């Protein structure tokens, strides 16, 4: 049976109408799902019994569930192992920002695939290969599973396991459902999609008229190095990627974030910084420097503090807005590039 979370409210209206029920019931169903986080149809007591039975008989109500939560002793970041209906697992990370606990902003990093086919050198997920795409409902289900425990989420980043733009339709549909005013009523301006650089899909995204943030996993400023670090660059080299980014900026007038994992003796030299500054000159953008996190099976190492500071200073001196992303959850393998759907503490 189809997952009930796969449907937009417009689609749910059509299904209810076909089933002989009034379409206004979709608002009530959405409120139970996305405001009260209830997935037991029998608790939806403002729905008539015959509708509840119809929903049970025709749709899947077994949502993704968090089967393990690990909490960082350093910064409180929480990593969830989420089990899907077919018993595949993914990882989802909740990060906290700001001052006192009661007022901290919460950012949820969601996955879009079980595994990933891209194979970026910095990334543990890529070493898994691709198992399958997540459905729309499985993407949204991560948000609901965490919200039941930690309350309302402030920001959503599609930066977990997988390449979001390789699961384009389900990712975009999940955003349309998440931003529905009758459901979570989430602001699209608080949603970020990160991609390793699928040029055609970036152009397609620019036509969607959704004012979200686009983040590009760049990591190198020349094709030779980027081919080695981000294999998709062989298909969509920097010329194609940056052309698509310019198209996105021109269409949306939205600032683009370039993510740059800084790895010792790989892409962290003064020359690399100057090359990056020249490449991004004139772009409406900012750069997130991400000091490399350890990934088992690789020789990736984090640069020292002086190298990081020098790299940032060069970019800023060239007029490029640059920040160093604060590390979150590294002690629980929840930081950038470390997600791997571990089912125990050893794999």
Q: Out of 109, 120, 196, 336, pick the active-site residue.
A: 336
* Cα 149 to Cα 87, 127, 153, 201, distances in angstroms: 21, 30, 11, 34
* 137: nearest Cα among 99, 179, 85, 190: 85
CB within 8 A of 101, min separation 6: which ones? none
Distance from C-alpha of 167 to C-alpha of 115, rounded to nearest angstrom: 12
DSSP readout, 225-287?
Answer: HHHHH-GGGGTS-HHHHHHHHHHHHHHH--PEEEEEEE-TTTS-SHHHHHHHHHHTTT-SEEE
* Neighbouring C-alpha atoms within 13 Å toward the C-beta of 153: 31
* 237: nearest Cα among 286, 196, 177: 196
* Known catalytic membership, residue 336: yes
Q: Out of 91, 201, 259, 327, pick the active-site residue.
A: 91
Q: Assess contact for 85 and 155: CB atoms under 8 A.
A: no
Catalytic site positions: 91, 336
């Amino acid at each position: 049976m189809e997952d009930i979370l796969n449907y937009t409210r417009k689609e749910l209206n059509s299904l209810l109408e076909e089933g002989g029920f009034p379409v206004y019931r979709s608002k009530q169903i959405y409120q139970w799902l996305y405001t009260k986080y209830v997935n037991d149809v029998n608790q939806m007591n403002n729905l008539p019994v015959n509708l509840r039975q119809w929903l049970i008989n025709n749709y899947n109500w077994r949502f993704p569930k968090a089967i393990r939560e690990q909490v960082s002793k350093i910064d409180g970041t929480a990593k969830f192992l989420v089990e899907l209906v077919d018993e595949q697992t993914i990882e989802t990370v909740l990060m906290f920002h700001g001052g006192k606990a009661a007022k901290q902003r919460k950012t949820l990093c969601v996955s879009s695939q079980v595994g990933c086919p891209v194979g970026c050198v910095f990334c543990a997920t890529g070493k898994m290969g691709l198992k399958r795409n997540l459905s729309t409902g499985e993407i949204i289900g991560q948000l609901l599973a965490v919200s039941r425990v930690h309350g309302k989420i402030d920001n959503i980043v599609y930066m977990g396991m997988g390449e979001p733009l390789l699961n384009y339709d389900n990712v975009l549909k999940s955003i349309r459902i998440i931003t529905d005013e009758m459901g979570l009523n989430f602001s699209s301006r608080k949603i970020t999609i990160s991609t390793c650089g699928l040029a055609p899909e970036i152009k397609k995204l620019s036509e969607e008229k959704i004012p979200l943030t686009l983040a590009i996993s760049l990591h190198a400023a020349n094709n030779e190095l980027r081919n080695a670090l981000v294999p998709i660059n062989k298909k969509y080299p920097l010329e194609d990627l940056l052309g698509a980014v310019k198209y996105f900026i021109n269409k949306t007038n939205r600032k683009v974030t370039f993510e740059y994992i800084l790895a010792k003796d790989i892409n962290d030299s003064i020359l690399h910084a100057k090359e990056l500054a020249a490449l991004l000159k004139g772009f409406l953008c900012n750069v997130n420097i991400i000091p490399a996190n350890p990934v088992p099976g690789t020789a990736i190492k984090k640069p020292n503090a002086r190298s990081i500071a020098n790299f940032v200073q060069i970019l800023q001196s060239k007029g490029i807005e640059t920040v160093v992303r604060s590390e979150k959850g590294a002690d629980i393998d929840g930081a950038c590039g470390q997600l791997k759907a571990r089912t125990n503490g050893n794999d």
